[in-house]
Amino acid sequence: MDFSTQLNAFIAQTDQALDKYLPPATTRPARLHEAMRYSLQAGGKRLRPVLVLSAAQLFTGKKHDPLTAAVAIECVHTYSLIHDDLPCMDNDDLRRGRPTAHKQFDEATALLAGDALLTYAFDLLARHYPAEPGFALMRELADAAGSQRLIGGQMEDLLAEKKADATAGELEFIHLNKTAAMIEAALVMGGLTAQANEIELAGLRQFGRELGLTFQIVDDILDATADSATLGKTAGKDAKAGKTTFVKLHGLEGARLHAHEHTAAALAALTKLPGDTAFLRQLVEIMLVRKH
Amino acid sequence: MDFSTQLNAFIAQTDQALDKYLPPATTRPARLHEAMRYSLQAGGKRLRPVLVLSAAQLFTGKKHDPLTAAVAIECVHTYSLIHDDLPCMDNDDLRRGRPTAHKQFDEATALLAGDALLTYAFDLLARHYPAEPGFALMRELADAAGSQRLIGGQMEDLLAEKKADATAGELEFIHLNKTAAMIEAALVMGGLTAQANEIELAGLRQFGRELGLTFQIVDDILDATADSATLGKTAGKDAKAGKTTFVKLHGLEGARLHAHEHTAAALAALTKLPGDTAFLRQLVEIMLVRKH
């Protein structure tokens, strides 16, 4: 199966599972469940679920269905976007061309829908897996989404926006935690559903870290270089906001060099993994040259 | 040990454990961890941790330390208060005589501190317990805090505030989920740390449900009858806001009758439990006659 066919198959499986595993929109309170579904079904790249599924696919032998883990991590990602869009955070009216949750519903409903999606991720893992691998999946997710990783990265990002002189160390903390943490967790969770051993899990984590850093640096490069039409969102937003970005700190060429280095490190991490890693190799290569 | 001595001992153990198990306020990002600690250390009745500890104490035999579960459930309770106090929800400036988190810090920090406390509850359970009873503890907490229980109750409460004609059924949904769910979970989690069997867990759940309903009805009665000085918060707030309360629906005498019935049902549930249930019996009796 070629890369695009495989990618689209993973996305289609994820979308079906999201619809299947989320409580119906009529579940009481209906407004809350409608808002949860509205935000989850906004589409998007489904990068984290795709990583769960592609990591699980590397392994042969006894496996648990990775789809529930894929849905759980997308619930956490979506909660973080809903809260990030709120007026007290980034105050965004649109996401992927549709009104954000607090615009479509209201702030309170968006806040609670985010809270509910975070909680539901743990609920799903607890209900669909036995204690092994369920407990390890929940531990991985709680750590990656926690105050020293995802939420910590969001907090530092917010603090950094208020000052134009964030340091390279501060920016690295943000990239590693706001972006790479959940990408790492997706790969590790995929491995956990397939009973990967400690060495394999470490390889997945290393690959995820480098993929996450590549992803974020390329994001900064695109914000500085692409036009809004190609990007599908407002370009130049970071520079306009006076925000410290990777490009501002290291220059365009420096940023490109770093992106290539992290890609190379990601590819090196792949060599430690079993199975057919072609899909993950192509994913990181496409990540590097993407235009939007 | 008499009731007050035991109660104060449970509260002191909880307060010490909260300090010990939360990341230090200097942990990066410091502002986030300061806000988490600020809200957790605001004091309060510590009802849910006390219930975890008192449920665990009923059982003899091999036990896991219930204190981590007590801290975890207080983290979830505190997150729900932080988010409930936000401007888009109840918009409260004060809680227990101190500025609410978004007043002391800012809205974004309060939002993220709430998110972080919810996530940390799962992290704590995953790190401090083995898979048995850790997985069951996480499942119980995720269910009680979820979109059909705690968050669902908050959502319906919010919707009910906008209409003066909420029905008895709507009010029951709110009480059962916004209040009773976490009280039930506290008792069940205490039992789980002490390897209670299914029948014992069902007894704890039943006791928690009736205790939670008693607690909430007495809250409504006090709001309607006590003066602000005795109550320690603004009395008559619900009536002034035109909110449907138990007293409004059933009258004062009707509400008192219901509170007595739920107390009797709680005491009946206690008879199914092993060990010395004197503390829990006194707790529900004091709950019924409390003045604040």
Q: Could you read off the pLDDT of A253-273 as tens digits, one per residue?
A: 999 999 999 999 999 999 999
Which residues of B fall within a CB distance of 8 Å from A134?
135
Residue B172 pLDDT = 93
Comparing CA positions, the residue from A13, A147, A119 lying closest to residue B116 is A147
Whether residue B175 has pLDDT greater than 90: yes
SS3 A199: helix
Comparing CA positions, the residue from A227, A288, A226 lying closest to residue A258 is A288
Instruction: Give me chain B's average pLDDT, please.
Output: 94
- With cut-offs at 50, 70 and 90, classify the pLDDT of residue A11: very high
Whether residue B233 has pLDDT greater than 70: no
Nearest to B155 among A32, A126, A135 (CB): A32
- Higher pLDDT among residues B86 and A237, named by residue: B86
Q: How far is A230 from chain B (nearest CA, A)?
A: 31
Nearest to A27 among B36, B126, B148 (CB): B148
Residue A274 pLDDT = 95
Residue B142 pLDDT = 98
What H or E segment, with its residue span, contains residue A94?
A: strand A94-95
Whether residue B89 has pLDDT greater than 90: yes
Average pLDDT over residues B227-242: 72
Average pLDDT over residues A211-236: 84
Instruction: Tell me how many degrees the CA angle B185-B187-B190 measures, rounded to the nearest 5.
Output: 105
d(CA A108, CA B158): 8
Supply the DSSP symbol for A45: -
Q: With beta carbons less than 8 A apart as the criterion, state whether B113 and A158 touch.
A: no
Going by their DSSP bridges, the two strands B98-99 and A94-95 should be labelled as unpaired
Residue B200 pLDDT = 97
Reading the block at residue B67, the tokens are 């204190």
- The amino acid that residue A48 corresponds to is R
Percent of chain A with pLDDT over 90: 83
Among A41-50, B135-144, B147-156, where is mean pLDDT lowest?
A41-50
> Domain ranges in chain A?
3-289
- The amino acid that residue B247 corresponds to is V
Phi, psi of A99 (to 5 degrees): -55, 140
Reading the block at residue B30, the tokens are 């410091």
Comparing CA positions, the residue from A72, A66, A98, A73 lying closest to residue A85 is A98
Instruction: Give me chain A's average pLDDT, please.
Output: 94
Q: Could you read off the pLDDT of A68-101 as tens digits, one per residue?
A: 999 999 999 999 999 999 999 999 999 988 999 9
Q: How far is A212 from chain B (nearest CA, A)?
A: 20
Average pLDDT over residues B245-250: 89
Reading the block at residue A49, the tokens are 């679920």
- With cut-offs at 50, 70 and 90, classify the pLDDT of residue B208: very high
Nearest to B107 among A88, A131, A154 (CB): A88
Contact B112 A36 (CB under 8 A): no
Contact B27 A148 (CB under 8 A): yes
Residue B242 pLDDT = 76
The partner residues of A98 in beta bridges, in order of sequence, read A95
Report how far apart the first and last C-alpha atoms of chain B are (Å, whole number): 24
Which residues of A fall within a CB distance of 8 Å from B152?
28-29, 32, 116
Residue A233 pLDDT = 67
Whether residue B49 has pLDDT greater than 80: yes
Instruction: Return the CATH fold of A3-289.
Output: Farnesyl Diphosphate Synthase (1.10.600)
d(CA A213, CA A172): 9
Q: With beta carbons less than 8 A apart as the criterion, state whether A225 and A256 touch.
A: no
Reading the block at residue B57, the tokens are 């104490």
Which residues of B fall within a CB distance of 8 Å from A145?
119
Which residues of A fall within a CB distance of 8 Å from B189?
none
Among B40-54, B172-186, B192-206, B236-250, where is mean pLDDT lowest?
B236-250
- The amino acid that residue A97 corresponds to is G
Contact A152 B29 (CB under 8 A): yes
Which residues of A fall within a CB distance of 8 Å from B123?
139, 142-143, 146
Which residues of A fall within a CB distance of 8 Å from B154?
112
Half-sphere exposure of B201 (CA within 13 A, CB side): 15
Q: Is the peptide bond prior to A66 cis by the omega test (within 30 degrees of 0)?
A: no
Average pLDDT over residues A160-169: 82
Supply the DSSP symbol for B180: I
d(CA B284, CA B50): 13
Contact A120 B156 (CB under 8 A): no
Residue B43 pLDDT = 79
Comparing CA positions, the residue from A31, A37, A154 lying closest to residue A90 is A154
Supply the DSSP symbol for A162: T
Q: Could you read off the pLDDT of A45-64 as tens digits, one per residue?
A: 999 999 999 999 999 978 99
Nearest to A115 among B23, B141, B151 (CB): B151
d(CA A274, CA A59): 7
Contact B156 A119 (CB under 8 A): no
Reading the block at residue B177, the tokens are 């989920």
Q: Could you read off the pLDDT of B24-33 as tens digits, one per residue?
A: 999 999 999 9
ipTM score of complex: 0.96
Residue B245 pLDDT = 85
Q: What is the pTM of this model?
A: 0.96
- With cut-offs at 50, 70 and 90, classify the pLDDT of residue A242: confident
Percent of chain B with pLDDT over 90: 83
The partner residues of B95 in beta bridges, in order of sequence, read B98
Among A57-61, B12-16, B163-167, where is mean pLDDT lowest?
B163-167
Which residues of A fall within a CB distance of 8 Å from B146?
116, 119-120, 123
Supply the DSSP symbol for B172: H
SS3 A275: coil
Contact A119 B142 (CB under 8 A): yes
Average pLDDT over residues B125-146: 97
Instruction: Quickly count: other Cβ atoms within 10 Å of residue B25's Cβ.
Output: 15
- With cut-offs at 50, 70 and 90, classify the pLDDT of residue B42: confident
Q: In whole angstroms, what separates CA A95 from the centre of its chain?
A: 15
